[in-house]
Chains A and B, each alone.
Chain A
Amino acid sequence: METPDAIRRIVIVGGGTAGWMTASALAKVAGVRDRSITLIESDEIGIVGVGEATIPPILLFNRLLGIDENAFIRETRATFKLGIQFVDWGRKGHTYMHPFGLFGPEMNGINFSHYWLRALKAGGDPDNHRFIAEAEAMRENRFGRTGPGDGAGMPRINYAFHFDAGLYARWLRTYAEALGVARLEGRITGAHRDGESGLIRSVVLADGRVVEGDLFIDCSGFRGLLIEQEMQAGYEDWTRWLHANRAVAVPCERFEDPVPYTRSTARESGWQWRIPLQHRTGNGYVFSDAFISEDQATSDLMARLDGAPQAEPRMLRFVTGRRRRGWIGNVVAIGLASGFLEPLESTSIHLIQTAISKLLALFPRAPRDDLMAEQFNREMDQQYEGVRDFVIAHYKVGTRDDTPFWRHCRDMGMPDSLRAKLELFEARGEVMVERHELFGESNWFPILYGQGLTPEGYHPLADALPEEELRLRLDQIRAAVSARVDGLPPHERYLQQCLAAAPR
């Protein structure tokens, strides 16, 4: 069916991870047979290399593009990631993990966590990680992919990657250009809007070139070149709950075989990340400048590296929150242009990916399609708010009060949606997760428990299992986890196998 005002020209404003992920997916799924896809980026403007750590749905994105995973690992210098290790969070001296795995199987229609809590209350082992294969593999620095039918009765291994986002963007650029995406080098200095409809007609480059389009994807980062500066979307500020507003980042030399997890260490006025890649280690300190100066934070970070720094530290300044509307008229914001959440749970790339898949599902028929825009905004709001609450929980639950920063966290409020979750968890270990939420029970449990919130009760149904049988089941699950982890090779060896197997 031909529509006279169909989308014929898509213009992506900004390269980087968001821009090239969007270009690649649009080229692969929508194609360039009936439309053109142009990406404008400037070599002058630095790319904010966010989100070097990812979560498991990234596998789906690579699969959508038809990318060979081993080639991806080689090109982006990636390592595998089984989860996040949290150090000194809930309380100083305590370490726990957020693994990507399930906490035991569901039994008699209720989550395994209730049976485990029953055993705990009866004096059992308080170490929940022993029932999660990914957590045990993290401890032992092992990794391996598991396929269907591989190891009957043993848990599968869920994983994501750490990778160099700059290399990923460069690699996707090659991919997208091969599919017909046109790249224009240039800095955008303005835009022309239709006087009547207010839609963006074209963007103007510094050298005077004018690029016309029907649909504009704003991947210009924090400043929101089109979505904010032209469409004036407005910004919802979440700093009352997430008050960190700076991150200083620096890569350092690799000093050991890369571990298959991200490390997040709580610091005096924020937290420090450590992301192992094949060739180097990414580090950063997320903090609030109300509690520590940029200079002090930088020198703290530099003093706490485990290898020699490989570059000058870079300072990022941000305001946590969300663009009030991510899609207005014919402008769709993706990536940092649409909002910012600190990378505590490695969600930046995922939020890009989610926006892309929603844009594809709600692809407009005409430059202006308000119904699709409203729906997109509704669904993205839910995504952002779910992640927001999850991140806040890390700060809110726990007993650290040793610095002004942590006392501030203790004393601040929280969204009602989070409060309701915490109340129910505290009473009975239940996490009420709505369907659209990214993080489920298997994510919330290890975080809340790890932060120090031990439920008072558990589901009464868990008492239905005779004691003897409960012990037997726990032993069986524990044995299956051990068998799985014992069968995995060391992470570094597996990584080398992947690199050797990668097609040229």
Chain B
Amino acid sequence: MSRRVEQVVVIGRDAAVWLSALAVQRALGRAGAKVRVIEMPSLLTTADVYAAVPSLGGLHRLLGLNEAAVLEAAEGLPVLGQRFVDWGAAPFIHGYDTHGVTLSDIEFTQILTRARGEGLPVPFEDFCLAAAAAKQGRSPVTRAGVSADQPVSVGYHLDARAYVDLLRGAAIQAGVEARAGDVAEVERSGDRVLSVTLTDAEVVQADLFIDASGPAAVLASGAPGPGFESWRSWFGANRLLVASAPRLKPLPAFSQIAAFPAGWVGLHPLKSRTAVVAAFDSRAMSDAQVLQALPGLTGLPLTGEATVEHLHPGMRPAWVGNCIAVGGAAVSLEPLDAVQLHLIHLGLSTLVSLFPTEVEAMPEAAAYNRAIASHVANVRDFQLAHYVLNRRDGEAFWDRARAPELPGGLRARLQLFGARGRVLQGEDESFQPQNWAQILIGHGLIPADPDPAVDAVPAAEQIEKVQGLLRRIAGEVRAMPALDAEFGAA
């Protein structure tokens, strides 16, 4: 007789552990699942930040978290995009905007490609509402929260520790049982985890284990199977630095991601400080050299604690036996493009949709791993696109970044976009064609030709459309409040 999955134990730390517990509790608590958390010591410092793409809003709704309360509790700022500086092409903003504009069913990218081909000197980002608003420090979000009918999608900067505290409270309130602890030993039988012994000798058993321990992967790393697949050959940075700098005035509505000889440094404005994150290659610069260089690179002094940790991009099969790794325990990527929380979200929404029906056999694992691998590969390729399109010639780190043998999907995507301005969309995409078009054009991959169908649209109609769109965007941006006026007073 088959038995349903009832006991779920989540072992891990920080956002991953509490998001996982809360998601499973909210979705399956009523169906009989009991969720217990073993909270491992945090790895976060006062400097850490979670930068998130707009999909986080969807996760919050699913978890019953109030948007305004999250922003308030976590020093949070709503942001509209990321500005890329010094990657070799002119600076540009990747606006979190996925509103497609079509003209007789031809994507706007196509029309603009042709207009640029004919010498119209308008930057692509001016046609993205989020980017245009971000440039002017405006945002449709007010202190009262995000309104449902706002015309742009909004991302987030959240103080990591404060956000985790909020999540912990919400999970406990939702009925999750929790204790602090650390893992001493894992007992397995075949591919299944039988029990986990904690350092204080408590033996924890469960029908289903979730490993949310970050790159340490305390449960998943010992599982049988192919193990961790390294993406070192694509991502050269092996160090990750976090620090703080003073608050920016006025508050910008975007993160700034600046390339420097050894990697990139991101400035993520929060209400009362600026979080500084850098990913770099220790072969190009040492930790100490980067710390020393940062004030010059960012124009800001560093304040408070700064830490540097090891970084190794790659992934492992997330679901083996009765144990599912979520977030950093399954996938390790640079915090570029604000995807950290998104990767956790991805794991959890896939888990909820494939939550196992019974304890003994879990045939869902194969489908889950396939979906996650395909989704993550697309996210990875989006990050990788920044690197391979860089134009910082003559610097070893950046020259290497342009050189690697690309994953097939990305190669086809770059080729097709370069030829036609058409964004190939496959399965399981996190970033939409508009996101891809913005970064590809931003980094200088200008399509050689538009789609031939554009030729069929009369030039006058195209010009009118382009001008009309610019007017509409200008109007909508004017109607938004300044971000600093809403959030800068604190």
Contacts and interface: CB of A to CB of B under 8 A. Distances in A.
A360 interface: yes
A360 B453 contact: yes
Nearest to A6: B452
Contacts of A110: 353
Interface in A351-409: 360-365, 371-372, 374-375, 378
A311 interface: no
Interface in B396-453: 412, 415-416, 419-420, 422, 424, 426-428, 449-453
Nearest to A378: B412
B352 A375 contact: no
B27 interface: yes
Interface string A1-14: 10100110000000
A361 B354 CA distance: 35
A362 B412 CA distance: 14
Interface in B156-187: none
B431 to A, nearest CB: 15
Given A363-B452, A435-B427, A427 B27 contact: no
Given A375-B424, A460-B28, A461-B28, A432 B367 contact: yes
Contacts of A361: 422, 451
Contacts of B69: none
Nearest to B449: A365
B107 to A, nearest CB: 10
Interface stretch (B210-218, B358-366, B477-485): B358-366
B355 A459 contact: yes
B427 A434 contact: yes
Contacts of A434: 427
A47 interface: no
A255 B464 CA distance: 59
A423 B363 contact: yes
Interface stretch (A28-36, A91-99, A138-146): A28-36
B405 to A, nearest CB: 18
Contacts of A122: none
Given A460-B5, A461-B31, A363 B451 contact: yes
B412 A109 contact: no
Interface string A151-182: 00000000000000000000000000000000
A110 B452 CA distance: 41
A432 B371 CA distance: 9
B352 A31 contact: no
Contact of A371 (B33, B416, B427): B416
Nearest to A465: B30
A371 B419 contact: yes
Contacts of B449: 1, 3, 365
A136 interface: no
Contacts of A456: 2, 357
B4 interface: yes
Q: How large is the interface on A (under 10, 10 to 19, 20 to 34, 35 or more residues)?
A: 35 or more
B468 to A, nearest CB: 22
A457 interface: yes
Contacts of A33: 456
A428 interface: yes
B354 A365 contact: no
B452 A365 contact: yes
B308 to A, nearest CB: 40
Interface string B363-405: 1101100110000000000000000000000000000000000
Contact of A1 (B28, B114, B422, B456): B114
Contacts of A6: 452
A424 B363 contact: yes
A76 B31 CA distance: 53
Given A371-B415, A371-B419, A29 B30 contact: no
Interface string A468-492: 0000000000000000000000000
Nearest to B429: A435
A435 B367 CA distance: 14
Interface in A419-447: 420, 423-424, 427-428, 430, 432, 434-436
A3 B454 CA distance: 14
Contacts of A378: 412
B455 interface: yes
Contacts, number: 103
A325 to B, nearest CB: 16
A14 B108 CA distance: 36
A109 to B, nearest CB: 7
B41 interface: no
Nearest to A428: B357
A30 B453 CA distance: 7
B448 to A, nearest CB: 9
B419 A463 contact: no
Given A436-B427, A458-B357, A1 B2 contact: no
A360 B454 CA distance: 12
A378 B352 CA distance: 32
B227 interface: no
Contacts of B31: 460-464
A109 B353 contact: yes
Interface centre among B2, B114, B367, B416 (most CB of A within 10 A): B367
Interface in B115-164: 117-118
Contacts of A363: 451-453
Contacts of B27: 109, 461, 464
A408 to B, nearest CB: 27
B64 interface: no
Contacts of A3: 449
B335 to A, nearest CB: 28
B455 A34 contact: yes
Contacts of B354: 430
Given A365-B449, A424-B367, A428-B364, A460 B4 contact: yes
A29 B104 CA distance: 10
A427 B357 contact: yes
Contacts of A362: 420, 422
B295 interface: no
Nearest to A33: B456
A463 to B, nearest CB: 4
Contacts of B32: 460, 463
Interface in B328-373: 352-358, 361, 363-364, 366-367, 370-371
A430 B362 CA distance: 13
Contacts of A109: 27, 352-353
A487 B335 CA distance: 56
Q: 8 tightest CB-CB pairs across the interface, nearest first?
A: A457-B357, A464-B30, A463-B31, A464-B31, A427-B363, A428-B357, A363-B452, A460-B31
Interface of B: 2, 4-5, 27-28, 30-33, 114, 117-118, 352-358, 361, 363-364, 366-367, 370-371, 412, 415-416, 419-420, 422, 424, 426-428, 449-453, 455-456
Given A1-B118, A432-B370, 14 more contacts: A1-B449, A1-B455, A3-B449, A29-B456, A34-B455, A109-B352, A362-B422, A363-B453, A375-B416, A424-B363, A427-B364, A436-B426, A458-B357, A459-B353
8 contacts: A7-B452, A360-B453, A374-B412, A375-B412, A378-B412, A420-B366, A435-B428, A463-B31
